[in-house]
Structure formats: C-alpha cells, structure tokens
Amino acid sequence: MIFEDLPTTPTSEELIDKAFSRAARAGKAKGGLEAQQSMLQTAANIISDNLENVVTAWPDFEYEDDVHPFYYELADAIVDVDELRQALSETMWASRKAREIHNEYQPRLRKTDIDTARKHRKQAFARLADIVEQINDELLYINESRNDLRDLPEINPEEPTIVVAGYPNVGKSSFVNDVTSARGETASYPFTTKGIGVGHFEHQHIRHQIVDTPGLLDRPPAERNEIESQAVSAIEHLADCMLVMVDPSAECGYPLESQLELRDSIAAQFETVPVLTLANKVDRAEAWDESLLDELNADYEMSVETGENVETVLEAAVEAIDFEPELPFDG
C-alpha cells in the first residue's frame, strides 16, 4: 500500500539537535579551519538530506501513476491533501535553502583566521536553525498525515472489484466471508469505528477483490457525514460491480421500503458500474413483504445461510465486470 512505509517525520527540534550534535562530533575529529568547514558541511547535509527524504518518501499527488484516484480521494477524506502538498513543498524549500546557506558560507571559512571562521560558522548555524524552525508546523502536519494514512486497508485498485452494500444484518459480511479465501479479513478506516471487510477469490485464474463497507454504504446519503461521503466517492473509483443486498423479510430490523430507497440511492451514485439487487434469505420467503416484491425487482434471490444461489450470484458479478487482463506484448 502506497502509504504503508512512510517514515516518521522528525520535529524541527529533533532535526536541529541531530544536525548540530553530528556537526560537533565532526568538528572534534579535525582542527582549525578544517573543523569549522566540516561542522558546517555536516549540519547542512543532515538538514538538507533529511528534509528532502521526507518529501521524496511521499507519492506525487499530482500524477495518477503515483496515486490512484481511489487512494487520492480516500486520503483527501482523512487529511487535507492540498495542505499536505503545501507542507511538502515548504519542506523541500527548506531543504534547498539549507544547501544555499552552506554554499554561501563555506567559501568564507577557507581563507580567514579561526575566530572569523568560527563566527561565520555560528551565523550559518543560526540561519539553518531558523529555516528548520520556520517549517515546524509543516513537519508536524506531515507526520500527523503519515500516522493517519499508513493504516488504510490494503486494497488493490487495479484488481477487478465487487463492492457489497446494504443495510446492517442483511447478510453482507456473511456473503463476503462465504465466497472469499480470507475469512474475517478487515481493516478500519480512520473515519469509521467499523472495519472494512476485504476478501479475494479466483475465477479462471484471475484474482478478484470483494469489499464490504459497513459504516459507509449501509445508510442513506443524508445520514453520512462529509468525510464518509467523500470516502464513498473514493469507492466509486474502485467498484467494477455493486451488489446491493436486501432482506425482504425485514428481519434485519429495517423495513423493505427503506432498504429499497437505499438501493436506489446507491444505483444513482454508482450509475457507471453494474448494480445488481440481491434478495437474501430466500429460505425465509414466507416472511417476505409481498406488497413490495414488484418494486424490489431483484436480479437474484439467494440465501447466504443455506448457500442457495450464492455461486450463481458470484458468477453473475464476475460476468458483469467482464474483466480482461492486459496481456504482455508478444513479439
């Protein structure tokens, strides 16, 4: 996952202490003017290199090759990507400024007396510290963003993906666990206390991904907060097929009418991908709300409990995606 291995970002105080303590050790290993030159070079290098490494560890949010739209929108739902990009830009500015200070002062330390050289070196140290302190807030924000993003669930946007939606207790998680090789594989988004279920299965040697999104697609859009709504927008970039599961018996605790309203809102938002309506609990058909069955207009009736039509539904989803892998160039 693109944010998983981001390194910890030092605070300005930590970076200054590191640079100047290393510089002091470098100065002790030499004498005279050479010691002053070595101290300046060591301090400037540590500051410049560490700040540059902070920036280059992050993907470039401007390019889709670096950040898939799914992860871009997901990141922007959790942190302010524009603010993060600005913080990274300021950090790179400070890295370059540290290099400029080194280049400005180093010639002054070569052909002068030791007292003057020490004075120039101290001036350079003060300017280096000032530059790093100027971006203290940016460094803090970068590290906060790193902590918020590194635990995002590992989802591969390039794999054919089925997203399962519907109210709680209609059988979504049981369905995901039933058809995938990973049982109970979940990860939590920072904006919801519930886990996102992610499983995988193979069909004709092609790995497919199936995602259950409790806390996001299990209630009407009007009940989602701004962050959750943006997370749903991110899923629009991920989904190749939507399975909306309903419980016509309403034993889930939600009337069928409300479930159908949610189904219609999901279909409207995900209008660019196939949306299949699944009537679950066919084994409890005698309890179904017959007055709304015509409005239900289910694509498939199934029972996760008994396994009836579960494989048929999965095959229908795969067929709806119609994924064709890119073949290596032959010739």
Give the strand pairing for 206-212 and 195-203: antiparallel
- pTM score, two decimals? 0.80
Q: Show the low-confidence residues of the chain (pLDDT under 50).
A: 330-331
Q: For residue 174, is it left (φ>0), alpha (ψ between -120 and 50) or beta?
A: alpha
8 A C-beta contact, residue 163 and residue 217: yes
Q: With b meaning 16 or more CB within 10 Å and e meaning fewer, what string describes 52-68? A: bebbeebbebeeeeebb
Q: How many CB atoms lie within 10 A of CB 116?
A: 13
Task: Of 218, 208, 205, give the one whose Cα is nearest residue 314.
Answer: 208
8 A C-beta contact, residue 19 and residue 27: no
Q: How many residues does the chain have?
A: 331
Using only C-alpha atoms, the chain has a radius of gyration, in whole angstroms, of 28
Residue 188 amino acid letter: S
The pLDDT assigned to 331 comes to: 46
